[in-house]
Amino acid sequence: MKKRPFGVTLLAILAGVLAAFAILRAIQFTGLIPFFVTQWDIPVRGISWFSALMYGLLAWVYIWLVQMLWRVDPQAWLFLAVITVFNLVMDFVIVITGTPFSEIAWSVVLNALILIYMMLPGVKKSFGTGERAL
């Protein structure tokens, strides 16, 4: 069994937190839990089955990624990088379309921290993706 370094465990935990946020968002889009408009603190129920499905799929991807990270699968590092950059791009698009930054600040901060942390040499070395001799 391969030893799991602390950095990989931390990435798995952070990916699990993102999975929990995706599950919460999916439940909110089904209308079971209201959204809270931050400017007025008014509960709003909005039902969007497509959005609920997409966030449910995102949660499934994160749960799958947590399993890959927990097993220290070498492909998990690249997959996490792709998913993190994709989420940051989508957050940027959401802000451009008029959503207040405060609505997605947790996503931006968490994804940015994950991306920065996973680029550290020790974490890259744990997955075998560090610098290699040519």
pTM metric for this prediction: 0.77
Residue 10's Cβ-count burial label (10 Å; 0-12, 13-18, 19+) is middle
Q: What does DSSP assign to residue 118?
A: H
- Residue-wise pLDDT tens digits, 19-59: 998 898 888 888 887 766 555 555 556 678 888 898 899 99
Transcribe 80-112 into DSSP letters.
HHHHHHHHHHHHHHHHHTT--HHHHHHHHHHHH
Q: For residue 132, is pLDDT > 60? A: no
pLDDT at 134: 39
| Nearest alpha-carbon partner for 68 in 15, 112, 120, 125 | 15
- Cα–Cα dist 130/123, whole Å: 8
- Residue-wise pLDDT tens digits, 66-105: 999 998 888 888 899 999 998 899 888 888 887 778 878 8
For residue 30, give the H/E element and its range: helix 6-30
Sorted by where each begins, the domain ranges of the chain are 6-124
- Cα–Cα dist 55/29, whole Å: 9
